[in-house]
Amino acid sequence: MAIESAAPVRPRHIAVIMDGNGRWAQRQGLERIEGHRRGVQSVRCVVEECVRLGIEQLTLYCLSSENWKRPKSELDFLMALLKEFLIAERPEIVRQNLQFSVIGRRTELPEDVLIEIDTTARVAESHTGMRLCLAINYGSRAEIVDAVRWIAHDVASGRLSPDAIDEDLISARLNTREMPEPDLVIRTAGEMRLSNFLLWQISYAELFVTTTLWPEFREPELHAALDAFSRRQRRFGGLNQPECHR
């Protein structure tokens, strides 16, 4: 009698630090902005494959709060590309029943981009499929500062006792309060750093770093990350369960 193999363990929530657009363009002899344009194709491929695999949430690090140090021409292009993406992908978000959300501070974003973000969120508000979360003008330290300020105001007003502050309360004041914590963080382009991304939320996430540049990241690279994840032993600070001996 054949024994069925167990289904691979998959993450509920995958977070991706998309890196290497500029380097890809330079290697092709192109302007940096062409790397960002090509990177959108990778986004489409990864979203579709995650939907097919039944992943609960995919979070993509699109623009960090530190990225505003880049040249204005590149930032203007990124904002235009983001607006174009939100408009062009809206029918796909509907077709695939995707939930949609954005994390990060809104203050520095152009008004026309905010309009498209809010329009897409409204279109998807009744959806029940995979959640696509875009981190735009996001920085984890700023997010934690905002959460602490919120808590401090509640303490100062008497609505909250300092003794009531715990990890769960802090988590409930973060941008990600309605989301599961990431199980797997993928970083492309071989960089070995977290770049101020979801620092609170990824305390026990598995990390997977690939030298593949984001514009070249497709389904095979995603499956390589998932295969690696399925072989990890997630102990969450504990020990492996001892093997049973006869």
194 annotated as a binding-site residue: yes
238 annotated as a binding-site residue: no
Taking CA atoms, 151 is separated from 9, 160, 173, in Å, by: 37, 8, 8
5 annotated as a binding-site residue: no
32 annotated as a binding-site residue: yes
237 annotated as a binding-site residue: no
Query: Which residue carries 């380097």 as its tokens?
Result: 23
150 annotated as a binding-site residue: no
Catalytic residue among 19, 137, 175, 183: 19
20 annotated as a binding-site residue: yes
CA distance 13 to 211: 22
Judge residue 228's burial from the number of C-beta atoms within 10 Å of its C-beta, 0-12 exposed, 13-18 middle, 19 or more buried. middle
159 annotated as a binding-site residue: no
36 annotated as a binding-site residue: yes
Q: Is 19 a catalytic residue?
A: yes
196 annotated as a binding-site residue: no
Q: Is 163 a catalytic residue?
A: no
70 annotated as a binding-site residue: yes
22 annotated as a binding-site residue: yes
Do 225 and 208 contact (CB within 8 A), yes or no?
yes
Contacts 24+ apart (CB under 8 A), 150-157: none
64 annotated as a binding-site residue: yes
Do 150 and 76 contact (CB within 8 A), yes or no?
no
Q: Which residues are annotated as a binding site for substrate?
A: 20-24, 32, 36, 64-66, 68, 70, 187, 193-195
Annotated binding site: 19-24, 32, 36, 64-66, 68, 70, 187, 193-195, 206
Specify binding-site residues for Mg(2+): 19, 206
Enzyme catalytic residues: 19, 67
